[in-house]
Amino acid sequence: MRILRQFTTTTRIERSGRNLNSLWSKLQREDFDSISTEPSTVSFQTPTTNPTDLSHDKEDKSVDTTPSNAYIYIEGVRIPKKPSQPSPEECCMSGCVNCTYDIYADDLASYLSAAPKTASELEAKGIDISRWPADLKGFAGAKAATSQADAEIEAEKAADKLVSDLDPTMRAFLEMERNLKKKKKQVEREQKK
């Protein structure tokens, strides 16, 4: 008998959680206003708050994307800023059309085509090299790229250097992307002929 009592008596375990039954019944009794309960005179095209005006967005505006951020001026000569290299976390590796590394390569090509011209303008004005930006000092005395193709070759060399510094997975993915892009350009050239 003693064994039977031991199994038949249940001990009640006190739980520290909140009783949600009472909360549910309270919520069931409350009336909520929704779009369907509003009068029909309310326009659905009323102005709403702008999502960019939310307080949490105001605190975290560390990146300035204004066009004025793209150039600096030294004695009237507009100097392009070298594009910043994307981090591996910025690439989703999905093969998308707008890959951050493709955008970086395009920006780098335009920078490499503009930098020698800017350096020659600074030299022509007699501006001391110590006042030049560090990125532009390497172009002192260099000839400007004669064509967009030369700038693309320079950008490809810079991209090769960038890719060689990445981890093997990212390197393999980017090399595959570049090969696909080359094949696509080759097919487009053949179709034009």
Higher pLDDT, 186 or 14: 186
Q: What is the rounded CA–CA span in Å between residue 184 and residue 190?
A: 10
pLDDT, mean of residues 121-147: 78
Give the best-scoring range by mean pLDDT among 40-49, 85-94, 98-107, 127-136: 127-136
The answer to whether 133 touches 118, Cβ cutoff 8 Å, is: no
| Residue range 137-156, pLDDT digits in tens | 877 776 655 566 776 777 67
Spell out the domain ranges in the chain: 69-144, 147-192
Average predicted confidence (pLDDT) for the chain:
71
pLDDT band at 120 (very low <50, low <70, confident <90, very high): confident
Residue 106 and residue 114: Cα distance in Å, rounded?
A: 13
pLDDT of residue 187: 93
Residue type, 18: R
Lowest mean pLDDT among 6-15, 108-117, 177-186: 6-15
